[in-house]
């Protein structure tokens, strides 16, 4: 966090090159999150690039309240949601073409390649958009409930409820269809 504050101050002070540090730190995480929302590598790449431009122009609006990572995620996710609304774009529930992803050695890509992970992706894809997003932020991006609450602008109890409901729906799907996640059907 301390180095991020320094980079922000440098960028705001006129050193545009310091922004590369912010991009390098967040590009893979943001891409993985947006890819899970869009299920399209090209759209994800475009949305993340546009989001970084937005972040750059709004950097002076970051007030230091809460973590910078939560703020940059919020700007990125809000940008994606705006794009979905503008184009009436719906999040596609489907398989990611893993071979087209820019960096095949990225841990997120490796994660998607094993069969258990694919089934989990399919389970998550069946959830409503908001529940899916909250689950991804919690378990893929390892954000705390309070960070998620701040990011999606909802109460902490609402975040907990949405995670609980999403897990319940996934358990019901596993009970119905079976698969690797039999432990979910036992209420774990």
pLDDT one-digit tens code per residue, 29-71: 899 888 888 778 888 899 999 999 999 999 988 887 778 888 8
The per-residue pLDDT for range 101-140, each reduced to its tens digit, is: 445 565 554 544 555 666 777 787 888 888 888 888 888 7
CATH of the domain at 60: 1.10.1740.10
Q: Rounded to two decimals, what is the model's pTM?
A: 0.54
Give a yes or no: residue 63 inside a domain. yes
Q: Which of 69, 100, 131 is a domain's end point?
A: 100
Residue 145: CB atoms within 10 Å: 15
Q: Is there a single domain that holds both residue 85 and residue 56?
A: yes
- Count other Cβ atoms within 10 Å, centred on residue 187: 8
| Tally of structural domains, the chain | 2
Whether residue 106 lies inside any domain: the answer is no
Q: Which domain holds residue 123?
A: 114-188
CATH code of the domain containing 126: 1.10.10.10
Residues 167 and 93 in one domain: no
In a domain, 109, yes or no: no
| Distance separating alpha carbons of residues 16 and 7, to the nearest angstrom | 10
Does an H or E element contain 107, and which? Answer: helix 107-113
């Amino acid at each position: 966090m301390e180095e991020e504050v320094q980079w922000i101050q440098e960028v705001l002070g006129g050193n545009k090159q310091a922004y590369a540090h912010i991009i390098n730190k967040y590009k893979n995480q943001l891409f993985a999150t947006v890819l899970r929302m869009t299920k399209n590598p090209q759209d994800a790449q475009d949305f993340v690039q546009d989001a970084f431009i937005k972040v750059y122009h709004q950097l002076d609006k970051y007030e230091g309240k809460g973590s910078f990572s939560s703020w940059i995620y919020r700007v990125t996710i809000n940008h994606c949601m705006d794009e979905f609304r503008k184009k009436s774009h719906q999040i596609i529930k489907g398989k990611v073409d893993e071979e087209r992803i820019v960096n095949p050695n990225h841990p997120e890509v490796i994660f998607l390649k094993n069969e258990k992970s694919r089934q989990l992706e399919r389970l998550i894809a069946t959830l409503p958009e908001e529940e899916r997003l909250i689950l991804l932020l919690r378990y893929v991006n390892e954000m705390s409930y309070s960070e998620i609450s701040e990011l999606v602008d909802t109460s902490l109890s609402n975040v907990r409820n949405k995670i609980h409901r999403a897990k319940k729906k996934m358990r019901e799907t596993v009970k119905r269809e079976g698969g690797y996640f039999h432990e979910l059907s036992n209420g774990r």
